[in-house]
Amino acid sequence: MIKASGLIKLGFMPGKDFSLQNDGDGVYIKEWNPDQPQPSEADITTAHNEWQAEYDALQYQRDRAVSFPTWQEQMDMQYWDQVNGTTTWKDAIAKVKSDNPKE
């Protein structure tokens, strides 16, 4: 399985070092520009699987990023917490973190 993410994980840059193509029979390397030999499909697949595992392990970060209040909302919460002596901002952040825990 040839995936751009596997080639990128191996240190190659799309557009500069390689281009991929899919003619319906599967993805293949259309152009290979580096002086280094082209990696085997097994090496590319292994690198892609490593990349996928790293990506999956950080899902909580992507979930948190869309769940946190905007920075403007957070600033407003902090202001009113300071004025009123409340913990609205800390509570909101804690809820997002507990709803999307680190692995």
Are 9 and 52 part of one and the same domain? Answer: yes
Tell me how crowded residue 26 is: count the other CB atoms within 10 A of its CB.
9
Residues 69 and 86 in one domain: yes
pLDDT above 90: residue 101:
yes
pTM: 0.74
Range of the domain at 47: 4-57
Span 32-54, pLDDT tens digits: 999 999 999 999 999 999 999 99
State whether 46 and 33 are in the same domain: yes
Q: Can you give the length of the chain in residues?
A: 103
Q: Is the same domain home to 21 and 45?
A: yes
Which H helix or E strand runs over 19? strand 18-22
